[in-house]
Structure 1
């Protein structure tokens, strides 16, 4: 059987606060092959790794990420002592030996993410294989495809594998990223026959993990990398 990539969801979210350097490090400690993370642009233009559009749920602060400067975001604390990381900080931690799945969560993130990936490829000897850029947002996927068609794209879907395949075809994506509840052996095979990888999320229960493994998916995104 082929190797199924073990991808830590927001790091190792089941063990450490999501989208933090300790969470990403924990994923690597648990032998994850890659990490998944979320990015927004803050007021001063930097890419910050945080899931929500506001700081309220995960930090001791509040307000829209797009209205906070990087220095204001860096002053926030997660669990009392952890900083919100920038995308560059996460890439530096991850290095070149893993897959970095960057979800474009905030609007207008495609262009700066493309520029940052290009920088790491041109200046730091990374390759396109180190990165996959995913999103639920059609406009961000389309923009990334236009800006840099060499960057690998993943089409996220919580509703329809068929729609994910339609978008993946339109944007020459590398993969589809459907919620695991959408998967069947047949639609996984269909996607792979069309040339797409299938990276499914967020699979945490052993019985669900074992079931999607039987479908021969290409990667499993999980809060608990040790279970894969």
Structure 2
């Protein structure tokens, strides 16, 4: 079973920041999970929300701000919002990276960047998992490059996740842990899909879900797994 740091090590450092990803690496994660949006000037920005309001000292939609405007903002008065390239350069090949397509029109930009790192930086497709709740983005990525490993996120239904995973030849489903039973985990695995579940932080939940033999757990506190 693999341990995946949620937005880095969100329980220790501000989410989706270079310090958070470094902390996850320090805790020896097998993978890190992060969220991406495309900003006004086309770069992939690592941030969860559609706006910068909650996490920074600024305001506005990520899609309506340029890279330089985003880089002028601060998280906790000191930390910049990173680009996906900055995160990849920090992480190197120390662990795999689960990129969640959070914003719209992210599929093509993410596909292009993955291809760039495979061609120029000796990465492989196994170094990436691209996940989303958005059917349109998953379908687009599958159409652009079916070699990229997809994960289907779901907060509602394991059955729906399996249906989409089959349609897009995904490698994994990523259901919320509350949806899981030993039976549906086994069913997914028998159909050839890995099960990466989120977001487990309480020891009691972690220990219970471990008994279901999931393939990976996404957590804010990697040291608890």
Q: TM-score per shorter chain, which class?
A: over 0.9
Kept in 2, the 8 Å contact 1:175–1:197? The answer is: yes
For the residues of structure 2 that align with 1:96 and 1:24, how far apart are their CA atoms?
A: 13
Per the alignment, residue 134 of structure 2 pairs with 137
For the residues of structure 2 that align with 1:53 and 1:226, how far apart are their CA atoms?
A: 29
For the residues of structure 2 that align with 1:202 and 1:219, how far apart are their CA atoms?
A: 11
Per-residue displacement from partner, 1:132-176 (whole Å, max 9, x unpaired)? Answer: 000000000000000000000000000000000000000000000
CA RMSD of aligned residues (A): 0.4
Give yes or no for the alignment of 1:122 onto 2:114: no
For the residues of structure 2 that align with 1:169 and 1:212, how far apart are their CA atoms?
A: 24
Per-residue displacement from partner, 1:19-61 (whole Å, max 9, x unpaired)? Answer: 0000000011111111000000000000000000000000000
- Equivalent residue in structure 2 for 1:80, among 77, 81, 85: 77
Per the alignment, residue 33 of structure 1 pairs with 30
Per the alignment, residue 165 of structure 1 pairs with 162
Per the alignment, residue 50 of structure 1 pairs with 47
Moved segments of 4+, more than 3 Å: none
Give yes or no for the alignment of 1:100 onto 2:97: yes
How far residue 97 of structure 1 moved from its aligned partner, in angstroms, is 2.8
Kept in 2, the 8 Å contact 1:61–1:76? The answer is: yes
- What TM-score, normalized by structure 1, do the two folds share? 0.98
Kept in 2, the 8 Å contact 1:97–1:130? The answer is: no
Give yes or no for the alignment of 1:19 onto 2:11: no
Kept in 2, the 8 Å contact 1:47–1:87? The answer is: yes
Structure 2 residue runs of 5 or longer lacking an equivalent are: none
Structure 1 residue runs of 5 or longer lacking an equivalent are: none
